[in-house]
Structure 1
Amino acid sequence: MLIYSLTVAISALHICHCVDLTYYVKEGKNPGTYIGDIASDTHLLDSVRPYIDRDMIRFTHLQQDLTGISQLFRVAKKTGKLYTAQTLDAESLCAHGVECLRMLDIAVRKGTSFITLLEIKVVIQDINDHQPKFPNKQINIKFSELDVIGTKRKIPNAKDRDVGTVNSQISYQLKKKINEPFSLSMSQNVAGTSDLGITLEERLDREMKDSYQIQVIAKDGGSPPKQDILDVFISVVDVNDNIPVFSQKVYNVSIGNDHNKNSPIIILSAKDSDAGKNGQILYHFSSETSDVSTSMFELNEDTGEVYLRKTLTLGQTLMYKLYIKATDQGNPSLSSLAKVSVNVISQQNNPPIIDVNFVFELIQNMVSISEDIEVGSFIAYVKVTDHDAGNNGEVSCDLHHNKFQLQNLSTKKYKVVVKNLLDRETEDHHELTINCQDRGSPPLHSESKFSIKVKDINDVQPQFFKETYTFRIYENQRSNFPVGFINATDPDQGSGGQLTYSLLTDNKHFLPFQIRDDGFISTIMSLDHEFKHIYKFQVLVKDKGTPSLNNTVNVVVEIRDQNDNTPYFTFPSVNPFIMNILYYPHYTKKITVLKASDSDSRENAFLKYEITSGNDKQLFTVNHYTGSLSFTRVVTQQDAGSYDLEFVVKDSGSPVRSATTAMTLSLTVSNKTSEMSNTVHVKTEDKIHLNLAVVIVLVAVSVSVITTAFISICIIRCNERQNARQKEEANSFHRCVSEQRHLMCPSYHGDSWTDAPVTIATDADKAKDAHLRAATIESHSADDSAEGLKNLPASLNPWRSIEKLRQMQEVVVLPSNEKSGKKTIMTPDYFSWRSPKSSHPDNSHNFNVGDTGHREEIPGM
């Protein structure tokens, strides 16, 4: 009965709370990967707890093992946690384009008793582990010169084995050179794949370019995407649209009447830009050629060579005109016509015969010599033969060339020598022609042509295009970030022109760059502008010749600043900062100077100060650029009170960074006008601000001059009684110094006043005396005004001793209050500051904020 009740309860739980679950697991995970907690996710154990002990519950994966395939998942019997049983491969488990999942039946039992059956859906998530694949790496297609714009040739598409919709989604891109007249066309078929084609955008001209190579890039939609490249070779099918062209339209040839029939009198040559049969040329006499001429000459239709058919005899025609047509084999064929004028010389006169013998090996009428050959070196021996008599047999030869010359050895004998130094990098091939001509009438000449190839030696140092390469990159980039290319050239051939690059560094300085053999410089770490903003080093380039030649170039890498540092206040150094101000009409305007710093540079460190809150009365203003805090107008008694000001400092970078600080100003307004306003500078660890020191010196000099003049007048005008009184008050002032010891009052010496450092007594044995003096001062000066100070006893009041001086200084130190933990230093402007107790040490001032000995420098005072 208990088991039956339990089954009913769990069935109700199954219906009400939808215990069927869906889990997701990525393919490729190792066996034993955790998928989910069935018991926890269905709250099954919480539901059965009132009925039975949860330790008696068992979970079983019900599997149909009919195919013999090992199970993909396993479930922990006691805990109900689901794991993978093997590495899952979505491509082998599921079809393409559908959600890959498996349904699991999990039986929940108590012993052998059935409790419920859970149906679990496990979705196998596809990962981008396959790249798109074209059937072939390259294909060949053809376009004809006759194809019109828009003609398309189909190409195969790529396939991706991934089953996920995104990972198997393929996009295509055509990669080609600029101005290549092709585009990629795509259309989707009913199967959901793309039909690809290469479309012609402009008419083709095979004579301009007969082949193209483009690439089709297939990318899937995975992250990161994977791709495959199909190389498409496009050949342009020729159309017979060019006629054969002779090198000249009219040829003039002179032959003797004893010309050898086996030697051609002329070789005609015509060229056709078309390909295949469209460019194959046959020669034949045209109908314009007379029968007499065709009977005397024969034409080789394949080579264009013209021969004599029979020996010429005296009395025959001395001039023949041959009209020869060159016809290509296209359909339809095209042709052109040339005229050959043959002049037969009736007298015996033969041209010279030139025989050239080379010192170096001759291969296909070409001689190879090294570029370091010396001037005057012997190249070839030339012998000329002409057996004609008289002037017909007298021969002169010449060679016109800037690197080689023909030197006469004897009659009809010459040598070819090097005239000037050779430089393969300037010119590696020379064509030489030796011309020889007799003195017959008309003169006959012969020529011998040959080529000289200059072999390379490693004689050129690698050269850079610049004396200094300057690169600029921003800080905080990733490692292996490209910096730039260093490019050098070496016209030498072979290993002498193969270059390698390296960085020149010393062991003292670390260089965060690397360079490849092709001159590409990249970083090996992220760089920091604030750590170092410029790097100067050299790059060495070497060729692989023997011996190896090298060169160096200067490289400058500037690290540009990014706004990655937030400004911070250096004064006030605590937040919030408390300051007491005693305002004297007509003399008090400037309060203090806010100071901030930013580790960045340039505009990223250009700071601007603003008051953000607490200035509802518009009583205060801060200079946006200097940080000087001052009053905006004359302060009245109604303005007295406490002001909680908040300030912000912003840099000028992008994005803008800022810092805030708070300052509590306690403003007391004096109802009397001070005759003079001096400032007291409190030093911290004997370190004094330079600007403050300059101000103090200027004030001290001014006060000394005025005081000296004033005292001189007083000495003349004042009587002995006044002098005695001043002496008595001066003695009282010195007693103040002796009683306070650690408190140094303004010292009077001669006729001038000088500033002395202000320190605060902190000794335990002086605490009681300090509290008594503080109580006396506070009772006589409850309004914090100068009038209250005048009522103090002479032993505590230095005011009376100098009240008749126009230039004066005033320092009143209020001992620390044990409850409030604050100190007050009063000046004629009554600038004072307080800071709450804190045990946090201020490392920059070497004291604890709020301690009895706290001294702070007020910038700008």
Structure 2
Amino acid sequence: IHHVTQTLWGQGLSNTCTITSICVAEMALGQVRYSIPEEMAMGSVVGSIIQDLGLDVKRLKSGRARIFTEDGSEYIGLNAEKGTLVVAKRIDREELCKQVSPCSLHFQIILENPMELHRIDVEITDINDNAPFFSKREYSFQVSESASPGARYSLESAKDPDVAHNAIQTYKLNPTDHFKLNVVSRPDGTKYIEMVLHTSLDREKQEEHKLTLTAFDGGNPQKSGSVKINVVVLDANDNSPVFSQSVYRVTVPENASRGTVILRVSATDNDKGANEEVAYSFSHHTDGASSHFNMDPHTGEMTVIDVLDYEKAKHYEIDIEATDKGGLADTSKVLIEVSDLNDNAPVISIISLSNPIPEDSAPDTVIAMLNIKDLDSDKNGQVKCFISKDLPFKIKSSSTNFYSLMSDDVLDRETVPEYNITITAMDEGSPPYSTNKTINLRISDVNDNAPEFPQPFSTAFIIENNSPGMSLISVKANDKDSGNNARISYFLEDSQLNGMSASAYFSVNAESGEILAVRSFDYEQTKEFHIRVKAQDGGSPPLSSNVTVKILIQDQNDNPPQVLYPVQTGGSLVAEMVPRSADVGYLVTKVVAVDVDSGQNAWLSYQLQKATDRALFEVGLQNGEIRTIRQVTDKDAVKQRLTVIVEDNGQPSRSATVIVNVAVADSFPEVLSEFTDFTHDKEYNDNLTFYLVLALAVVSFLFITCLVVIISVKIYRWRRERVFYKSGGNLPVIPYYPPLYADVGGTGTLKQAFSYEVYGTSDSRKSDITCSRPFKYSDFTLIKPSSTNDFKEVISVLDASLPDSTWTFESQQVSKTKCITVMLSNCGKSYIGIIPAMMDSNIVLYNLSIGTNVL
């Protein structure tokens, strides 16, 4: 504790002494106390807070330092530029505190960022600026001549707003021939004066006495005030009334209703008759207290006539008189103590509030500073402050009557965007009073949530041959944050699709998330794509998430059917052989076509568009089989020309046509005899014979060559078998087949001199053996497989093309030779064949033997 007192004394005219500055500074536990005299000039420095509080001017400015007073008074101001407290307006201690001593101003200095609160007490010391005074200039007393010495007459005490040694110290009565002054001290420390008769009066000698009462204070220089007292001497009343008590004490609750009797006083007079009748009244020099109470002049009952408020006045002092008819009187004091009741609810004031606060605020973050006061006293003025336990906040007392509202848990704006915090202040009275104040606290957003897609995968469909820029799908992500933290942008993640960047195929609208096709797609090339779209918010730092979009290309009927068989050649002539003995339903051939489209766009139908004789042939609508619809006769032309149209099921449909030449004959020479006429254009008729002879020669040569090769292979296999049998090796059993394979159907429609070619398609599972044609030695098929599985693939293709046929095979290996047995059932006939696979070289010749015919 540090005390500094500075007093400057100066002598001037009229011996005037001026106190220029008295300053007492005290700082303990964040509290600073100053002491200044009243009536200091405005702008006078009270003290330096930067020195006494350990602050600097920058902190005062950055913290927006300000003064807060509970009653709103502005006697002291803050000079933030110099860090000093100054007198803001005239301070009159008597007006501010009346008789209360010591007189102090209490206020707080509040700083923010971070929030600080410092309590400042400024004691206002008294100066002798008021002289004693009486409420009246003159008082009159009537004193009976028969009054005995020692009779007392109550006088009004002088008043001096000053306190301590500047208050009234002494009284002086002049003259003192018959009366003297008596100063009486009460038990509570207050004083009152009486005029006491010490010499009997004689009205005949002197009917009236004029006295002067002077009050002196203890100031320097000393000040005084006077009042005149006129004493009128009455005659013939020997006894004055006497109160039963010199001082009456009573306690009244502050909620006493009007008309409540609080006290009954009594006085007795030993005179007889009219002189003993006593009237009660308030003394004429009783001031404002009489406005709250009433005295019945006959009964002496004192009643309440106005509302009492403990917070305004805690006690009353009333002078009462008892006067008889002769004018004799006695005086007494009534001391009324007002007892406090819990009639005031606490008052909550918000000093400072941070609103909104970020959701990532740490626990114990100060949100608001509160001031709570209760005008009641003792327990009635003791306040407890609390909030609901369900809220993530708490109330903490920072100093007397001051509380801090602080965060107590982690906040999440996405869960609760705002809180209604109800602060309850309750006193300890009985019954208790409480006050509620609700603060609507908003939680500001931080970027703590990444965008979320409803599903991690999405699927979009687009028809092939689309136009570039076509919209496929819009992806949408949600972000629980708000503002810029929830503003989502969409990006296409760079990845490789078919060896190219994904951006070469698709683009994404950054605002809407709409996925657009950059180019046109072909279902036959690529059927689906997988891309990833990233959604990124606008926070700092930004957060993102991804969604995988599967884009399926839908087929369009943009490809016409393609005819696989019969092969349409530009210059050669191919015809199918039909014997004249063919029955109804004889399978002439089969048109095999495929469509690279899918679904119903690849469903094919076959129709006979043109024919030399429409009554002889028909085409299967679904399988493309050309069959006879009646018995072939000798009258039917040898050469028949059929035009078959193949149409898919798309919308609109696409089609292709194929020309099938059919030769109706029982022998090959018969066909040759008509061959010269079997041309596409008449300009080749002259050279047809030459071409046919040349073709026959070539075919014969190839046929003989094939026979030699087959015989050589059989001899080679026979020699290899003998070598293995002789070596005693454990060789697998090779199934035996007759040298000649019979026509199981027994219809005799296949000639020994003809061979059949098998055609199939991988996209149609309704294919079958398609047709027969004249055997050509040049039609051997060379395949280069890597294993037997390759042949299985060939069989699977045939099986897919010929669903009405039954294919079976088994493989056995002897040394480097593989034999594959194939069973073929078709067209109502069954055939068995052996395919020897020559493994001595990289080229494998597959031979399909049907009966004795070799393909």
Q: TM-score, normalised by structure 1?
A: 0.41
Higher relative contact order (CA 8 A, sep 6+): 1
Q: TM-score, normalised by structure 2?
A: 0.41
Computing the radius of gyration from Cα coordinates, the structure with the larger value is: 2
